[in-house]
């Protein structure tokens, strides 16, 4: 099958949607399919061989964060590319975001699939603002996917309809297999792990306040903060407080070592999360997790079964739940075992098969046969090979 995967986000910037696209591409190529990724790029030369660069991105605020998307008008280029390359499936991620998905969905003759990743409690979301223009792209889709009930609820407020819920995927084996703990953290102290960006909605200030409470009653504890971004502001605020460790930009291959050095994992996010990839990764590592009771996380963690859910923005509740885990080895063990079993449902192999089935459904909706075709003889310039 010839598959086009489309991301609206700057391919030169790491993020959940781009990671999702790259993982799907890698799996489908391993299965023998031809896959091309289209996305805007700040530095097209830097992604040669990864992605077909399509548009120049700019930064805009979206859903409590900032995203780099393209407003370049590239209709002639899109028509030319799609006329020359006969894709069977056009799979657009965040198909209502500007402007790359608009071009590709408008001019393709392939079966069209859209995946919606975002979740927001605000009604003043980008979808609402652009609804009159976005409606056309929604009508072009032959099949719709949402990555969680929270994402489905969010998009359904603006565009009611039928959505299939297929979660984001994780590299289950990468986190579930044994990993050597980090020696400096193996000194008898109980380690609390946070993995995430320093964005406000990730809730790190509430965990820092909770940690101060925890240390008052359990002084032999440590908080390890791992993430991509600049945590210097938090380091300055917490200077002088012992046993808070900040580790920025830890390489992905090294990340499981932090999980296997920890005793509990905390996701104190405040909202606007459609899914918790880092949460599912911690569960795959067999860690007991404490997470905010927000829709995106409640779809992953069953409270009291494979984790504990706490009130968002409530450092007292966060501290109490972490202490409950640290003080009960039996509870920690039971939650960790259940979490690892639950995380299998989010493995990429499972997710990729479920998404591919939606391609087959979209082809049937459009009245196209499910193709059995030989590989493409001529590749697009910059043909993506992420995941090979």
In angstroms, the CA 76 to CA 60 distance is 25
Collapse the DSSP code of 195 into the 3-class scheme (helix H, G, I; strand E, B; otherwise coil) and give the result.
Answer: strand
CB-count burial class (<10 Å; 0-12, 13-18, 19+) for 214: buried
pLDDT-derived band at 17, boundaries 50, 70, 90 = very high
Residue 372, pLDDT above cutoff 80 = no
Q: For the segment 67-124, what is each residue's pLDDT rounded down to a tens digit? A: 889 988 888 999 999 998 889 999 999 999 989 999 999 999 999 999 999 887 655 5
Tokens 């109980």 found at: 190
The reported pLDDT for the residue numbered 379 is 45
In angstroms, the CA 277 to CA 343 distance is 10
The reported pLDDT for the residue numbered 128 is 63
Residue 323, pLDDT above cutoff 70 = yes
Residue 51, pLDDT above cutoff 80 = yes
Q: Rounded mean pLDDT of 229-236?
A: 92
Q: Can you say whether residue 10 is alpha, beta or left, with left for phi > 0 and alpha for psi between -120 and 50 degrees? A: beta
The two tokens of residue 246 are 């900040």
Residue 344, pLDDT above cutoff 60 = yes
Q: For the segment 144-173, what is each residue's pLDDT rounded down to a tens digit? A: 999 999 899 989 999 999 999 999 999 999
The reported pLDDT for the residue numbered 120 is 74
Q: Set out the domains of the chain in order of their start, with CATH numbers.
A: 2-169+347-366 (3.40.50.2000), 172-344 (3.40.50.2000)
Collapse the DSSP code of 167 into the 3-class scheme (helix H, G, I; strand E, B; otherwise coil) and give the result.
Answer: coil
The reported pLDDT for the residue numbered 385 is 36
Q: Which helix (H) or strand (E) holds 62?
A: strand 57-62
In angstroms, the CA 251 to CA 93 distance is 26
Share of the chain above pLDDT 70, in %: 92
Q: Under a CB-based contact definition with an 8 Å cutoff, are residues 321 and 308 in contact?
A: yes
pLDDT-derived band at 132, boundaries 50, 70, 90 = confident
CB-count burial class (<10 Å; 0-12, 13-18, 19+) for 359: buried
Q: For the segment 270-281, what is each residue's pLDDT rounded down to a tens digit? A: 988 888 999 999
Predicted TM-score of the model (pTM)? 0.82
The reported pLDDT for the residue numbered 118 is 86
Q: Under a CB-based contact definition with an 8 Å cutoff, are residues 116 and 138 in contact?
A: no
Q: What are φ and ψ of residue 6, in 5° steps? A: -120, 125
Q: For the segment 289-313, what is each residue's pLDDT rounded down to a tens digit? A: 999 999 889 989 999 999 999 999 9
The two tokens of residue 229 are 């971004």
């Amino acid at each position: 099958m010839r598959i086009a995967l489309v991301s609206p986000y700057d391919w030169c910037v790491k993020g959940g949607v781009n990671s999702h696209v790259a993982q799907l591409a890698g799996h489908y190529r391993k299965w023998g399919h031809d896959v091309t990724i289209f996305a805007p790029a700040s530095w097209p030369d830097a992604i040669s061989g990864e992605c077909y660069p399509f548009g120049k991105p700019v930064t805009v605020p979206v859903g409590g964060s900032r995203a780099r998307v393209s407003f370049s008008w590239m209709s002639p280029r899109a028509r030319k590319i799609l006329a020359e390359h006969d894709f069977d499936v056009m799979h657009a991620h965040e198909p209502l975001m500007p402007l790359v998905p608009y071009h590709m969905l408008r001019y393709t003759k392939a079966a069209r699939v859209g995946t919606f990743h975002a979740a927001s409690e605000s009604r003043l979301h980008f979808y609402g603002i652009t609804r009159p223009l976005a409606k056309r792209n929604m009508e072009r889709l032959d099949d719709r996917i949402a990555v969680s009930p929270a994402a489905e609820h969010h998009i359904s407020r603006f565009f009611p309809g039928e959505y299939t819920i297929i979660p984001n995927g994780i590299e289950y084996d990468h986190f579930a297999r044994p990993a050597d703990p980090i020696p400096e953290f193996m000194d008898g102290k109980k380690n609390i792990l946070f993995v995430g960006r320093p964005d406000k909605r990730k809730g790190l200030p509430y965990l820092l306040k909770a940690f101060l409470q925890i240390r008052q009653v359990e002084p032999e504890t440590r908080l390890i903060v791992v993430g991509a971004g600049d945590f210097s502001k938090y380091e300055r605020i917490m200077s002088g407080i012992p046993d808070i460790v900040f580790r920025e930009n830890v390489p992905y291959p090294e990340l499981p070592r932090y999980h296997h050095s920890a005793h509990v994992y905390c996701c104190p996010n405040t909202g606007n999360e459609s899914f918790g990839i880092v949460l599912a990764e911690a569960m795959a590592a067999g860690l007991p997790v404490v997470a905010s009771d927000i829709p995106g996380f409640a779809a992953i963690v069953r409270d009291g079964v494979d984790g504990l859910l706490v009130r968002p923005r409530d450092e007292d509740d966060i501290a109490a739940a972490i202490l409950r885990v640290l003080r009960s080895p039996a509870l920690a063990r039971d939650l960790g075992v259940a979490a690892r079993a639950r995380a299998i449902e989010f493995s990429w192999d499972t997710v990729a098969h479920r998404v591919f089935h939606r391609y087959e459904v979209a082809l049937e909706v459009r009245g196209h046969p499910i193709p059995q075709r030989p590989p493409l003889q001529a590749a697009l310039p910059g043909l993506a090979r992420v995941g090979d």
